Structures are given as structure tokens and as C-alpha cells.
Structure 1
Amino acid sequence: MFQSISKPPKSTMDSFATTSFPVPTTLLATAVAALLILLLIGRRLLVHSTKKPNYSPIAGTIFHLLFNLHRLVEYQTALSKKYKTFRILTPFGNYVYTVDPANVEYILKINFSNYGKGDINYQLMSDFLGDGIFAVDGDKWRQQRKIASFEFSTKVLSNYSSRAFKNSASELSGIISKLASSNQMMDIQELFMKSTLDSIFKVGFGVELGVLSGLEEGKAFSDAFDEASCQIAYRYFDILWKVKRFLNIGSESKMKKNIQLLDNFVYATISRKTKQLAEQGHDGLEKEDILSRFLVEKEKPSNGIDDKYLRDIILNFMIAGRDTTAGTLSWFFYMMCKHPHMQDKIAREVRSTIKIQEGEGKVKIDEFGDYLTEETIKGMQYLHAALTETLRLYPAVPLDPKYCFSDDTLPDGSDVKKGDLVIYQPYPMGRMKYLWGDDAEIFRPERWLNNDGIFVPESPFKFPAFQAGPRICLGKEFAYRQMKIMAATLLYLFEFQLWDSSRDVKSRTMLTLQIEGGLHLRAVHR
């Protein structure tokens, strides 16, 4: 089942030549490091075999993860079908993976205080995400959670975001219309990434970024953000990353340049917004966007917010609002192309919900957003189910690690030690037959609907695409609203087909689940 540690198959090494992940700096350094790891792992195997009979099964070592990095989620799914909970050995602790909903509930809710980001996750992510909400625990997490929770609950932000999402969908539809008229290929994932980046900058920071319209500055920011996300994911499997960062070589040298580009862009955004706030005053500025509201909080000394903290908040907000939504929409349209009858069903639902009768003229692109009210968006039950089914099979965050702060025992009896990373796995969980039935790997939106066609949610511990417990995603409803606006608009106006149906579609290993190489489609006007 496992590949040889000493000599990985040629196909694996070939994949590293095309992936965005770097190879170790020198073969000598790798060999020395590998020898040390083998000795440490061997020692851990001996200790665990004599002292802890109730550890979960050992499914491999960090080498197996490294050799399968190009197909990590598929590899983890295969292991999870054999073991609901298992360990991967590393020199410094265990990676404990689970697909058991009882374990997930225990980690995310029941014993929440014992599982957080911890030092390991913070060290891996801090130069990218800093002290943002996805990288910290304790007071900093609670502070950001409290402020963000209040902002997400306001009607002002809800209305403001809906306008931004509709405008973005309209702009994207105009671009696709031109491509459809000339039968040109499009990378719809790239278009979604640009569109959601524009949207999140508008909603989050009140800035017209213009990436979709072709501004190069925004594209450079977007590319640097993606590369940094890939490198963070790679660090979990690269024992030499700190050495490379210290020496400023290889992948870490590129990481440093990407971080500098991100910093320059974000600090310039904060500076412009701060100046605007100072010129217009608190009463003169419409504080619809989230950054403006955080800038008001910054002026309260007790909050301890500075520009560095705001920079971290912005980049974390980017992960939440851009990557996850664009990635999910890309996988959704891939599923729509695989199941064209579902495109037609959703288009009919959209027409029915916005009360456009068959035979009536088509609504113009720039007017369609006016029909997407809160009521009509909520009424699109099948679309909601299809997006949720996409998230079941292609969750935005496929694997989510938590640091264990003290020795513990999970509900399934598996012991974990202080310092272990305990990873619950939304991607493999969506493919477990014991959770979803024999058709677990089949895309079937109807599983989310009752006999009246009304959406019925599942337990968030069985379906943890938005996390659960105290860290449940605050932007869940915003994400659904944005995705439904975009999907409803595009499927009302166009039919989509895979440009090359023979091409394999694979995922890219990074913090969020994206399609490797993009998703190339053709569009036809309805």
C-alpha cells in the first residue's frame, strides 16, 4: 500500500517537477535529515509499542505524506477508508487524522480548550497570517471573533455585501458573454478568483481593486497570495523549512519576496483608508466595509490594534472570503459540467423563483441583480443543496489541524499526547460510506432535500465544511449568498461545458482546495 521510502516511484518524482512545491536544497542535506528522521521515528515506534496499547494505528510516516503530496487528499481518503482514526509519525510528534464525527465534535466543541492553533501552527503560518484569527488562540482570537461577529450581524454590512456581490456577478457575466459569443475557452477558476478578490476588497476594505478588469497590481497581489498559501501547506511536510528560511534560500526565499509584496499592498490600503477616515471624520464616513470599522476600533487604546494587526486581519479575511468561495464555485461548475441536467434544473428554479415565465424575454445582464432579493435567494432550495453537495465532496478547507495542549483520549478511545497535531478531515469525511451511504462518492444534491424540496442541514460534526463549535465560520451565510448570486446569474444566462472532457481534474495542495491548472470551460448563451 505504501511506497518505498528509499526510492519513490518515478511518477511521484515527475509530479514534483510540475507542482509549485520546491525540492530540498541539496541531496546531501536531505539524506542527512532523512537518516535523523528514521532514527527518531524508529525510537517513537519502540516507545509507543511498549507504553501505549490504545494509540490509533500507525498508517505511515511523514515520508509517505511527502511522496504523496501531489495527491494528498486522495491519499488521506484511502487511508481513512481503512482506519477512521490513524497516526502519521514525524520526528517531533504524531499527526493524528480522524473522520469520526464524535471525535470532531470533541475536538471542536466538547473539549475545545484543549485543541487550538498552538505553537506549531502559529510558527508555520505566522509570517503569512500573523496574529490573524486563523493563526491564534486566546485573547487575540476572542477579540477578533467578537468584533467580527458583531459586524457580520449588521444589516448594513449584509446590504453592502449583496450589492458588491451582484455587481461582481454582472461584471463577470459581461466577460463570459463576450467569450461565449466568440466560442473562446475560459479558465473559470481564474475568473472566480479575480471576481471574488474584487468583491472581498470591496466588502472588506471599501477598495475598488479591479483585478477582473485587468489591473496588474491586483494580479501580482493575487499571485503572491496563492504562492504563499502553497508554501504554508508545504511547510507541514518539509522539516528543513526553518533552515531554508534562516539561510533565505529555495522556496523560503521566494516566500519572503511574496510576503513583502503582500505587506506593501496591504499597508498601502490601510494608509489610504486611514487618511480617508481622518479627512471625513467618523460621522462623515459611511463605515460599510469591515476595515473602516476596525479602524474605528483601533482608536480605542484598550483594543491594542495597530497597523500590523490590521494587516493580519486583512490577510486572514482574504483566506476566508476569496479562496474558499472561488474554489467552491469552481468545483461546483465542474460538477455542473459533469451533470448538465442539473444546470437546466437550476436555471428553471432561478426563473421560477424570480418569477420569469417561460417565453418571456431574458433579463439583461446589468439588470439581473435587481431580481435577486433576499427572498428570491432564499427560495433557491435546489441551488443551495447543489452548493452544499459540492462542499461535501470538495470542502474549501480539506484538512484542518489542531494542536493538542495536553494528553487526552478521544471518544473512539484513541490516546493523543501533548504536542500532537490532531487533524479532522472534511474531504475524506464526505466520501465515507458509513456516514453518507453507498452513494457517498456520487454527487447527489437531493440528499439535502426533504420530500417537499426544502433544504435540511446535517450535523456540522458530520459535515464540518464550515468548522463547528466556538470557531464555526462567521461568514457562512455571506459565503452562501455570494455563491448563490454568482451561480444563479451565470446559470440563468449561460450553459457551460468542459473544454476538454478527457482532461483529468485534480486538486492543488494548498491551504484551501483549488483545481490544479484551472478549470477550462466553454459557455453558450441560453
Structure 2
Amino acid sequence: MAPFMNVFSNLIISIPVITTSSFFVLLFLYIYNQKQHHKKKYHLVVGSVLNLIINFNKVHDYLSDLAAKYKSYRLIVSLFRADVYTSDPMNVEYIVKTNYQNFGKGKKLRDIMKDLLGEGIFIVDGDKWREQRKVASHEFSTKVLRDFSSVVFRKNAIKLGDILLEAANNNQIIDINDLFMKATMDSIFKVAFGIDLNNMSSPNEDGIRFSRAFDDANTLTAGRFVDVLWKIKKFLNIGSEADMKKSMKVVDEFVYKVIQMKIEQMHKSKDEFSLKKEDILSRFLQVNDKDPKYLRDIILSFVLAGKDTVAITMTWLIYMLCKHPKIQDKVAREIKEAMKMKKEFTNVADFATLVTDDALENMHYLQATLTETIRFYPALPLDPKTCLSDDVLPDGCMVKKGDTISYLPYAMGRMEFIWGDDAQDFKPERWLDHDGRFHPESPFKFVAFQAGPRTCLGREFAYRQLKIFSSILLGCFMFKLSDENKVSSYRISVNLHIDGPLQICVFKRSGLHDQ
């Protein structure tokens, strides 16, 4: 919470300055737009960066409210620039597929994210992106990584299940958000680094420090998107930027230590096959073991993508299933039917042996429920691009070279013009065909995993982890909110984390008992 409060307080201090300047900016642009309107068509200006600051802790809902009125619009950020925001699937398709080469990450995003992700795949363009994409695409498609990660996911789902069983036996209220963050951190550390972090049982102190520092840096990075003074603070090493520097020192020291350890292990190995190369770092070391910075940037990108996104989705899934207990029961029934259970199970590990790949493939309602959760709560709620040359979007409006144009997965998941009159209803059935089988929607309306050439490489990787965790936990336990009237919201970060703990009561399902 401290990093968020530092970001927020720093932004509040900036408001008087921004208020005055915003008035003159709005006046100037109003006059300018009136003169230019007859020449070229631009998206309507509906506010400024001041509105983003005022609505900072609910910014995605603010942007969604605007999206419901205007599919695409502009917010003023400087004297001569207004950022574009769109929830129009036609515009999204044009940006991420049709003319994707004209919409890159750009300098602004790289400047904001560079301390955290360096030149990792998520913030680079051109040859650097293509090189990393090629290598990562190959690694995600290998059977070695798929099988290794599945074993890791099952192992950690069982560990988490044992913790939940103890809570159910002792009538303990647990923070499911904290447990999912620990479980997914354990999983991504093992898959990414080959390290047993043991966050859920006997934690590694260095790993815990890294995890906290990484989360803090994530939150502080998000604050830079609306803090117009962040570069000055960084230069002076004050406020949120001083905190950022401290967090990144912890992150970098840990990652470089792990990389060096892996390099030494591989060099000491006399037989190139005697050291298993199952984790992502070991496999990337086969491609490039000369540049620790290159490896650091890639690994931190995978940690950001693999740790937070799965934990976030699992937490929101449990929250939504607590709000919709009939759907929770239906998911649990399907899980057991898909497993074709022919014997009683006595504990979580016993149950997990029945969660086979074939069983997971037949859990269509579970996949629909996960996808419906992601529709409402996409891990990446906003995705900014930079326009590299003047262009015209499918809606007929101009975007200029250097403009930032963001599409809005969070807002798009709530739009009636995309999903129909029941857009606000949690309805997994919308993802099923007449035979009850899962069917995907257009990636340009459901953009949580991006689309086009930069489609998320880890989509199937993420779904596999989500389905393994979900099937084991929902097959063994029933969940209820400790406060059934609680309405949860998000906290501001790069990803859509739930705000604060999610206190849950856990109950054993029929057939589960101690051994």
C-alpha cells in the first residue's frame, strides 16, 4: 500500500499546477480544434490528464464511462497533444493487425517501463521484438516446457489445496488473494528460474524481498503514466522515484545473482545433457549466455506476465463465483464429470491425480467461466501504442505521428454495443455453442490476450495453469465470502490487482477428508 500512497500523494501535490495549465490547454485546443475541424476529423476531446488524476483510483471505470458515450475519444495531456482512447473493435483490429507496423510501443512507453522491464519483449519494437518473439515462440511451443510447467502447476495447486483443507478443518478465514500470489510466484519462479521458492511453506527470504520489491515497482511504474513530474523526481531522486530506485535495486540484485548462478551451473556441467534445461532461463541461456542484461529483461517480462496475470484471474474468479454460487456449483459438477471419477478421493493430492490432460480438455464450462472472468477483469486493463506516422483509423478519424492511442480491454468487456444488453451480467454461457463446447469470440472484441502479430504467446500456457488450479481447488472446496455484502474493486497497478485482501470461508466438498 505504501508505494501506491506515495504515488497518489505525489499526484495530488501536482494538481494545482495541472489545474491552472489544463484550463489554458483546454482553451487553446478548443480554439485550435475549431479552426482545424473543417480540414480534418479528429476524435472528440472529452477531458484532460487532470481528470485522470482526479479519478486515479477508479481510472478504468472512468474510462469505461466515457467509452459507453464515445467509442473513441481524446484526453489532453500537453499543450499540443491529446491521447486517444478507443473501445471500437474495428479500430482495435486496425491497430493490432491491419496496420500494426504503424502502432508500436514508442519512446514514451519505453521511458516509463524501462526501469522495470529494460528492453524486454513487451516494450520493444522492430528487430529487438522480432528476435525475442521468435525465441519465445519456439520455447512456448516445446513439449519440454509444457510438461515441466504442468508438473509445477499441479504440485503448487496441491500445496495450496492442503492449506485450504487445514483452513476448512479449523473454520479459518483466509486471504485467497495472498495465497494465489504466493502460489503463482512459486510456480513462475520454478518455471522461469528453476528455483524452489516455497513461498507457501518455508519461504526463501531473498525471494520474498524480490517479490515485494517487484510488486512495489509495478505499482510505482503505473503511477508514471499520469504523473507528469516523474522524470524530474527521478532526476532529483525524491518521492515515488526514490522508492522506485530502491525497489529496482532489490529486483536487479536478485535476478543477476540467479542468472550468474545458472551460468556457472551450465559451465560446470561436463555433459551438456547432464543438467536439465527445463526452466525458461536455462533454455534462453542456450541461445545467449553472454549478455546478463538481455536475460534479465526477458525473465522479468515473463515474471510480470506469468505471476500477476494468473493470480489476478484466480482471485477474481473466486470472487465472482462467491457472488454467483449456482455457477460455482455448476463448475464443480463439470469438473467431476470430466474426470470420470471411478474411485473416491481421500485428499487433495489423490484428487489431483485424476486431473489429466484429457479431463482438462473436456472442462468447457470451466474455460467459459474463466474467460467470462477475464472479460470483466482483464489482467492488462489498458494497452497503449504509439502512432509512428500520421494515419486514419477505420472510424474516419485522424491520429498524428507521436500520438499515444490506447485500447481498453477493461472497458470493452463492459460495452453493450460489443456484448449486447446483458453485457453487465456474469454469464459463462455466452462462451458456449449449442453443444456446450467452448467457442472463442473475435480477438478484436475480447482483447485480453491482445491480437494480431503481438498476440500473447502465453495464452495457452496461462489457461493451462488456470484450469489446473481451478479444477483441483473447485473440485475439492466450496468458497464463500466472509462478508457476503463485500464489493471488491481494483487497485492501480500495471495489472488489475484486487484492492486489498479477499477474505474467504472454505468448505470441503463431498468426498474430501483427511488422511
Same fold (TM over 0.5): yes
In structure 1, the gaps of 5 or more residues are: 1-14, 300-304
Deviation of 1:481 (Å): 0.4
Aligned to 1:220: 209
CA contact (8 A) 1:24 1:30 kept: no
* Partner of residue 10 from structure 2, selected from 24, 28, 42: 24
| Residue 211 of structure 1: aligned partner | 199
Return the alpha-carbon distance in structure 2 between the equivalents of residues 294 and 54 of structure 1: 47
**Number of the residue aligned with 1:522:** 505
Partner of 2:52: 65
Aligned to 2:400: 417
The 8 Å contact of residues 206 and 289 in structure 1, kept in 2 or not, is answered as yes
List aligned pairs for 1:65-464, cutoff 5 A. Answer: 65-91=52-78, 93-215=81-203, 216-281=205-270, 282-299=272-289, 306-356=291-341, 360-464=343-447
Give, in whole Å, the separation in 2 of the partners of 1:25 and 1:46. Answer: 28
Aligned-partner residue type, residue 288 of structure 2 = K
Distance verdict in 2 for CA 1:79–1:234, change over 3 Å: same
The answer to whether the aligner puts 1:45 opposite 2:30 as a matched pair is yes
Is the 1:16–1:22 contact (alpha carbons within 8 Å) kept by the matching residues of 2? no
- Conserved in 1, the CA contact under 8 Å of 2:345 and 2:351? no
Letter in 2 for 1:315: L
Q: CA deviation at 1:266?
A: 0.6
Deviations 1:313-366 (A, max 9, x none): 111101110111110111111111011112211111111111115xx5225212
Distance in 2 (alpha carbons) for counterparts of 1:342 and 1:94 = 43
CA distance in 2, matches of 1:106, 1:412: 10
1:45 Cα deviation from its structure 2 partner: 3.3
Query: CA–CA distance in 1 between the matches of 2:236 and 2:27?
Result: 29
Deviation track 1:368-420 (CA, whole Å, cap 9, x = no partner) reads 33222221111100000000011111111111100111111110112111111
What amino acid does structure 2 have at the position aligned with 1:473? C
Which residue identity does 1:296 align to in structure 2?
Answer: Q
Distance in 2 between the 1:25 and 1:366 partners? 49
Deviation (angstroms), 1:57: 1.1
The one-letter amino acid paired with 2:326 is H
Mapped contact 1:41–1:90 kept (Cα < 8 A): no
Amino acid at match of 1:21: V
TM-score, normalised with respect to structure 1 = 0.93
State how far apart, in whole Å, the 2-side matches of 1:18 and 1:154 are.
39
Kindly indicate whether the alpha-carbon contact (under 8 Å) linking 1:16 and 1:23 is maintained by their aligned counterparts in 2.
no
Distance in structure 2 (CA, Å) of the matches to 1:39 and 1:234: 24
What displacement does 1:58 show?
Answer: 1.0
1:228 maps to amino acid? A
In 2 relative to 1, CA 178–425 (structure 1 residues): closer, same or farther, beyond 3 Å? same
- The answer to whether the 8 A contact 2:6-2:240 is kept is no
The 1:119/1:49 distance shift into structure 2, 3 A limit, reads same
SS in 1 for 2:351: helix
Matched, 1:507 2:474: no
Conserved 8 A contact 2:15-2:50? no
Q: Distance in 1 between matches of 2:241 and 2:85?
A: 27
Distance 2:33 2:214 in 1: 40
Contact 1:188 1:521 in 2 (8 A): yes
CA contact (8 A) 2:121 2:132 kept: yes
Q: Which letter does structure 2 place at the counterpart of 1:316?
A: S
Percent sequence identity is: 48
CA distance in 2, matches of 1:471, 1:17: 31
Q: Supply the AA of the counterpart residue of 1:344.
A: D
State the one-letter code of the partner of 2:275: L
Deviations 1:17-36 (A, max 9, x none): 98463323895x65445434
Q: How does 1:489-500 map to 2 (within 5 A)?
A: 489-500=472-483
User: Does the residue aligned with 1:502 lie in a helix, a strand or coil?
Assistant: coil
Matched residues in 1 for 2:48 and 2:330: separation?
Answer: 46
Distance 2:202 2:178 in 1: 12
In structure 2, C-alpha distance between the alignment counterparts of 1:370 and 1:239, rounded to whole Å: 53
- Matched residue, 2:43: 56
Secondary structure of residue in 1 paired with 2:273: helix
| Partner of residue 513, structure 2 | none
So what's the TM-score if we normalise by structure 2? 0.94
1:279 CA drift (Å): 1.4
Q: Is the 8 A contact 1:22 1:251 kept in 2?
A: no
- C-alpha contact 1:210 1:218 (8 A) present in aligned 2: no
* Superposition misfits of 4+ residues, deviation over 6 angstroms: 15-18
> Take 2:221 and 2:458, find their aligned partners in 1: how far apart are those partners?
23
Q: Which amino acid aligns with 1:244?
A: K
* Counterpart Cα distance in 1 of 2:396 and 2:381: 24
Alpha carbons 1:203, 1:289 under 8 Å: kept: yes
Change (3 A) 1:412 1:16: farther
Check whether the contact 1:179–1:523 (CA below 8 A) recurs between aligned residues.
yes
CA RMSD of aligned residues (A): 1.8
Structure 2 residue matching 1:297: 3-state secondary structure: coil
Q: Is the 8 A contact 1:60 1:88 kept in 2?
A: yes
8 A contact 2:75–2:84 mirrored in 1 = yes
